[in-house]
Amino acid sequence: MPDPTPGPDDTGLDSSASPAEPAEPVAPASPAEPVPPADPASPAEPAETPEPVEETAERPAASPQPFIPGGGRFTPAAPSGTKRLWNAVRQRPDGGQVLVAVLVALLGFGAVLQVRADDDDALANARRDDLVQILDGLRRQADRLDDHVAELESDRRDLVSGADTEAAALEQAEERARSTGVLAGTIAAGGPGIIMTISDPDHDVAAYTMLRAINELRVAGAEAIQIRGGGNDAAVRVVASTSFENPSADVLTVGGVELEPPYEIVAIGEPGELSGSMMFANGVVASIEGDDKGGAEATVDEYDDLTVDVLHEPQAPQYARPAPEDGDDE
Amino acid sequence: MIPLAGLLVGILAGLYFDVSVPLELQPYLPIAIVAALDAVFGGIRAVIEGIFNDKVFVVSFIANVLIAAFIVFLGDQLGVGSQLSTAVIVVLGIRIFTNVATIRRHIFHA
């Protein structure tokens, strides 16, 4: 333990410590000690001491005691230090102590404030090297985090553009599915076109005639066709696999469905071309009406907006499957 | 007795009131506290040695605090504030050690 007390003080204390013991019983009895002549006031009431004693470091110099010659400083007859302290604590308060108390209270207040302020900002009283190190570490951490941010942002960009591409692809696919559905007859189609009504009371219109009419419509660019038999209210969407036949003389089946006249063919396409393809000389209308047998009549009306709403039920091909060498040239 | 109560009151007040140290006082408060601690330990030593005088204590307490704060202030003005703070702390620390050693010797006779 470091002991900065000057040498003579040290030795004087140690030698005076043991002689102080026998004097102790005397002390409580007579607070005014007779033995040390240099200590004028009673030790129990130190406040009365009139000497201008500086009680901090200057104390040895200001002490009136002749302490240098052989340990006279703490005289044996005086009460021990502990006792004096105890007496001072138990002492009846006087006015001078109030000021002391105020100062000590200020000390406690300030110390607590300082301690709590230090809790707030630990950096304020860190040393410069520590601060530099902390700063360095924080900077490295910030760099790492910046890298991380850049990485995440590029990821995000990739994902966003990927999502855009995906959405575009989805839209394209949906568009294609729609047009394919129109072609395959699985969804309803709308648009300008013609309605050709064939009144055929005598069932004279043969499947061949009907097939020819459909073919002419296709040549003219019809994109969706349906045939309705007004007699039995049956309708067929004409698709690639639709067949026309006459199982018996008076019966017309289209795609396996028997239709009763009058027939109503709805075709979506350019109305002028479609009706032209029906009406030209020796064309479909002429061949229907020109049948000598009876009173089949065909009328063609052009419309700006028609709906082909009969749907075809597609069936999975049983034999045909995509040939592998064709590839998928999307 | 009253000084002990005063210390307790001060600590409790510091805990109870959430007062922040004014910014311009912040460099001086720690030094002032150490100086005041020095004065307090000197006072305890004086009590034990039977030469306590409250007037001397008050004067030395205030003088200690003011001088320590002034030295730090001067150091700040001269640009050697941290070094002078260290110097003041070292000196006061040595004095506190001296006083506490004396008190210890009186109380424990060792």
Distance from CA of B72 to the nearest CA of A (A): 15
Clarify whether residues A54 and A136 are in a common domain.
no
What are the tokens at A125? Answer: 């009283």
A5 with B37: Cβ contact below 8 A = no
Clarify whether residues A210 and A193 are in a common domain.
yes
pLDDT at A326: 56
Q: Is pLDDT larger for residue A256 or for residue A144?
A: A144
Please report which helix (H) or strand (E) contains residue B94, including its range.
helix B81-108
pLDDT at A17: 38
Q: Is position A330 within any domain?
A: no
Q: What is the mean pLDDT of residues A106-134?
A: 76
Partners of A252 in the β-ladder: A259
pLDDT at A328: 54
| Longest Cα–Cα distance in chain A | 166
Q: Is position A270 within any domain?
A: yes
Q: Report the CATH number that the domain containing residue A211 is assigned in CATH.
A: 3.30.70.1880
- Does A105 lie at the interface with B, CB-CB under 8 angstroms? yes
Q: Is position A97 within any domain?
A: no
B7 with A107: Cβ contact below 8 A = yes
Distance CA B74, CA A12 (A): 40
Other CB atoms within a 10 A radius of the CB of residue A3 amount to: 14
Q: Is position A325 within any domain?
A: no
Distance CA A307, CA A299 (A): 18
Model confidence at A273: pLDDT above 80: yes
Question: What residues of A are in contact with residue B92 (Cβ under 8 Å)?
Answer: none
Distance CA B44, CA A88 (A): 10
Over the stretch A247-267, which tens digit does the pLDDT of each residue have?
887 788 888 888 887 888 899
Clarify whether residues A197 and A176 are in a common domain.
no
- Flag the least confident range among A9-13, A119-123, B43-47, B79-83: A9-13
CB pairs under 8 A between A and B: 191
Stated pTM of the model: 0.41
Please say which residue of A167, A184, A201 terminates a domain: A184
Model confidence at A213: pLDDT above 60: yes
Q: Is position A302 within any domain?
A: yes
Clarify whether residues A144 and A196 are in a common domain.
no
What confidence tier does A144 reach under pLDDT thresholds 50, 70, 90?
very high
Q: Is position A47 within any domain?
A: yes
Clarify whether residues A47 and A150 are in a common domain.
no
Q: Are A213 and A225 in contact (CB under 8 A)?
A: no
Model confidence at A147: pLDDT above 90: yes
Question: What residues of B are in contact with residue A91 (Cβ under 8 Å)?
Answer: 1
Q: Is position A170 within any domain?
A: yes
As a whole number, the mean pLDDT across chain B is 85
Q: Determine the structural domain holding residue A241 and report its residue range.
A: 186-308
Distance CA A205, CA A201 (A): 10
Q: How many structural domains comprise chain A?
A: 3
Nearest to A106 by CA among B54, B100, B47, B32: B32
The shortest CB-CB distance from B14 to any of A82, A97, A112 is to: A112
Q: What is the mean pLDDT of residues A267-289?
A: 83
Over the stretch B89-98, which tens digit does the pLDDT of each residue have?
999 999 999 9
Distance CA A42, CA B43 (A): 17
What confidence tier does A222 reach under pLDDT thresholds 50, 70, 90?
confident
- Does A251 lie at the interface with B, CB-CB under 8 angstroms? no
Clarify whether residues A228 and A294 are in a common domain.
yes
Model confidence at A29: pLDDT above 70: no
Pairing of strands A252-254, A257-259: antiparallel
Distance from CA of A23 to the nearest CA of B (A): 14
What confidence tier does B54 reach under pLDDT thresholds 50, 70, 90?
confident
Q: Are A187 and A176 in contact (CB under 8 A)?
A: no
How many residues in chain A? Answer: 330
Pairing of strands A244-245, A252-254: antiparallel
B10 with A99: Cβ contact below 8 A = no
Clarify whether residues A136 and A75 are in a common domain.
no
Please say which residue of A184, A203, A222 terminates a domain: A184
- Flag the least confident range among A90-94, A198-202, A272-276, B62-66: A90-94
Q: What is the mean pLDDT of residues A51-68?
A: 42
Best residue of B48, B83, B97, B99 to probe chain A, by most A CBs closer than 10 Å: B48
Collect contacts of A203-206 with beta carbons under 8 A, ≥24 apart: A203/A249, A203/A250, A203/A251, A203/A252, A203/A261, A204/A291, A204/A293, A204/A294, A204/A296, A205/A252, A205/A261, A205/A263, A205/A288, A205/A291, A205/A296, A206/A246, A206/A252
pLDDT at A325: 73
pLDDT at A143: 95
Question: What residues of A are in contact with residue B46 (Cβ under 8 Å)?
Answer: 46, 53, 55, 59
Partners of A234 in the β-ladder: A229
What confidence tier does A25 reach under pLDDT thresholds 50, 70, 90?
very low
Over the stretch A285-295, which tens digit does the pLDDT of each residue have?
877 777 555 67
Q: Is pLDDT larger for residue A151 or for residue B72?
A: A151
Clarify whether residues A179 and A167 are in a common domain.
yes
Q: Is position A56 within any domain?
A: yes
pLDDT at A121: 62
Please say which residue of A92, A117, A149 terminates a domain: A92
As a whole number, the mean pLDDT across chain A is 73
Clarify whether residues A221 and A283 are in a common domain.
yes
Clarify whether residues A228 and A264 are in a common domain.
yes
Q: Is pLDDT larger for residue B29 or for residue A202?
A: B29
Q: What is the mean pLDDT of residues A198-214?
A: 81
